[in-house]
Amino acid sequence: MAGPYTVDPGALTERVTLQSRRVVKDDYGQDTITWTDVATVWARVRALSSREFFVAAQVQQEQTLKVMIRQRTDVQPTWRLLWQDRAHDITGVIPTGREWTELMCLQGVKDGR
């Protein structure tokens, strides 16, 4: 019997890029955030929720994703994920056994900054 985290490898139809965050000082001593590609992998991406809200006199949008990738033990919640040319904050890393890693991602609030 298949478990809740069984994924057909053929369902990994989306390319996503995992990026790690690095803070460096610029010429003026200010912190600057840079992102470095760690890996580009195949994934199954599912939108869980989406909402609009009003902040600072602007309408903001937020989208929550669940992303399944082949198992990786190096992914950190400080990283971000690029999907369809948009940055998503990784808010949760859930190892689901020996084969899969589930990533919970949020796009729109900080936009991966």
The pLDDT tens digits of the residues spanning 24-49 come to 888 898 998 899 999 999 999 998 86
The whole-number pLDDT of residue 47 equals 86
Q: Helix, strand, or coil here: 11? A: helix
Sign for the CA dihedral angle at 33, 38, 42, 48 comes to negative
Scored b (16 or more CB within 10 A) or e, 65-101 reads bebbbeeeeebeeebbbbbeeebbbbeebeeeeeebb
Residues in the chain, overall count = 113
Question: Consecutive sets of 10 residues in the chain, 113 residues long: mean pLDDT of each?
Answer: 63 94 90 94 86 56 88 93 93 88 82 46
So where are the chain's domains?
44-113
Q: What is the pLDDT of residue 109?
A: 54
Nearest to 5 by CA among 104, 103, 110, 99: 99
